[in-house]
Structure 1
Amino acid sequence: MVAHKIVMIGDSITDSNRLEDPEGMGGGYVRLLRDYYITEDPEARVEFVNKGVSANRITDLEERWQRDVMDEKPEWVSISIGINDVWRQLDNQEMDQVLPDRFLSIYRRLLNWTSEETGSNLILMQPTIIEEEVFSRGNQMLKSYVEIVNQLAGEFDAILVPAHEAFLKHLKKNSKSNLTTDGVHMTSTGNMLMAKTWIRAVERSII
């Protein structure tokens, strides 16, 4: 019997080609987390369920929340979203933009729904980065979305994973190692940084 079921929901960073993986984990930070908890405590009964979908924004999560979160009845829900909400604005895709106020209202609605109907524990991950430059336009626009995630973590007594802060800290060290392949999607180094930041935030709460 699985003691701890953890749904990991988000965009392509979470997805990481999970549908091409026989285990459904993908090749990103979710797999690293799964492997970490298996090796850290072989007796721990933890099931990671990857529900990342490439190109998703908060509006897309809302459309599939019943199927991919509520119906799974998880003990924990870890959410990583916000990059595409900003990235599409940078690409000048004017249709159906998700500006900060809308992002906040939808995100809060999903958290209320989850808390009231499932009692699942919540883990909110700050969106990471857009371009490996601290002061890039994308990272400046992302600030409002990061602040919203911080605010909601406080409102819902959720665990906050400070992924954006961790990535900026790394970039400020002028490291020569690339965290992304294109400014958004993770290299193996970026995935490791995400996983380590998640583990440090969650500690041993799930086992």
Structure 2
Amino acid sequence: MKTNRRSFITKSIVGAALLTNANLFSAQAESMVSLKKSKKISINQNDIILFQGDSITDNGRDRNNKNVNDNGALGSGYVNLAAANLLEKYADKNLKIYNRGISGNRVPDLQNRWQQDTLDLQPTILSILIGVNDFWRTKDSGATNTPEQFKKQYQDLLQQTLSKLPQVKLIIGEPFGVKNVKHVTDDWYPDFLAYQNACVEISKEFDAALISYQSIFDQAQLKASGSYWTTDGVHTSLAGASLMAKGWLDVIK
């Protein structure tokens, strides 16, 4: 584990500097190639893999079902598809895979349930996809959480995680929006880019693998329209879920 990552466990985090428009658009360009640059995560014997996030991760899972490696507990989205691949490919590794995504969640919601739904499970690999609701609620519900506040909350969450689970391997999913499909309109931009950029920066600060979902969906639209991959610009179709699962599995070496 890198020295600069260990130092995050003990040092306090200062407020982030204000982002410029140039930073935002350069981050968007960087996202187009970050899949190639992203660090890779190895699968080891007895790994505990936990998926955390909002409705995209939740995807209809039975929240009363706490079993590992269970269809009902994993939902019907990208988590289930990725888990199926992992369990087949690494049948000899005794993997335990959980889904604890909850629809509508923002980072503060994760903070409120982090002990029970993450730390108590003691994952060795932790995948987080969060951020679209942190932005979206500022548009449809009058929330006032800024990109800077979002980034600080996310940093605090990961600092807490590393203080309890210093060896955990982190995977950060970039929040995405497929433009001109129902909810994702021109009004989202450029503001949404700041939340995406925060996730890119956080992945570097915490030595996490980054899944550039925005780039993945942008490239997919060269084959089919956005409405083919998502139902509303955010939530995936079956094809979109498969696309996300493949993106997730690409960071596994």
Could you state the TM-score of these two structures normalised by the residue count of structure 1?
0.88
Could you tell me which residue of structure 1 aligns to residue 154 of structure 2?
Answer: 107
Residues in 2 aligned to 1:148 and 1:29: alpha-carbon distance in whole angstroms = 23
What runs of 5+ residues in structure 1 fail to find an aligned partner? none
Could you state the TM-score of these two structures normalised by the residue count of structure 2?
0.73
Residues in 1 aligned to 2:190 and 2:94: alpha-carbon distance in whole angstroms = 40
Aligned partner of residue 97 in structure 1, secondary structure: coil
Over aligned residues, Cα RMSD in angstroms?
Answer: 2.0
Could you tell me which residue of structure 1 aligns to residue 174 of structure 2?
Answer: 126
What runs of 5+ residues in structure 2 fail to find an aligned partner? 1-44, 66-70
Are 2:179 and 2:185, in contact at CA under 8 Å, matched by a contact in 1?
A: no
Could you tell me which residue of structure 2 aligns to residue 48 of structure 1?
Answer: 97
> Residue 60 of structure 2: which of 17, 25, 29 is its match?
17
Any idea what the Cα deviations from partners look like across 1:88-123, whole Å, max 9, x if unmatched?
Answer: 1221x12x4321011000000011111121121111
Residues in 2 aligned to 1:105 and 1:36: alpha-carbon distance in whole angstroms = 34
Are 1:37 and 1:44, in contact at CA under 8 Å, matched by a contact in 2?
A: no
Highest CA radius of gyration, 1 or 2?
2
Are 2:171 and 2:211, in contact at CA under 8 Å, matched by a contact in 1?
A: yes
User: Which amino acid in the other structure matches residue 204 of structure 2?
Assistant: G
Q: Structure 1 vs Structure 2: percent identity of aligned residues?
A: 33
User: Which amino acid in the other structure matches residue 161 of structure 2?
Assistant: T
Higher RCO (C-alpha under 8 Å, 6+ residues apart): 2
Pair 1:68 & 2:156 matched:
no
Could you tell me which residue of structure 1 aligns to residue 25 of structure 2?
Answer: none
Offset of residue 32 of structure 1: 0.3
Are 2:47 and 2:125, in contact at CA under 8 Å, matched by a contact in 1?
A: yes
Match runs of 1:132-147 below 5 Å: 132=180, 136-138=186-188, 140-147=190-197
Are 1:17 and 1:27, in contact at CA under 8 Å, matched by a contact in 2?
A: yes
Are 1:130 and 1:136, in contact at CA under 8 Å, matched by a contact in 2?
A: no
CA shift in 2, pair 1:157/1:174, >3 Å:
same
CA shift in 2, pair 1:170/1:132, >3 Å:
farther
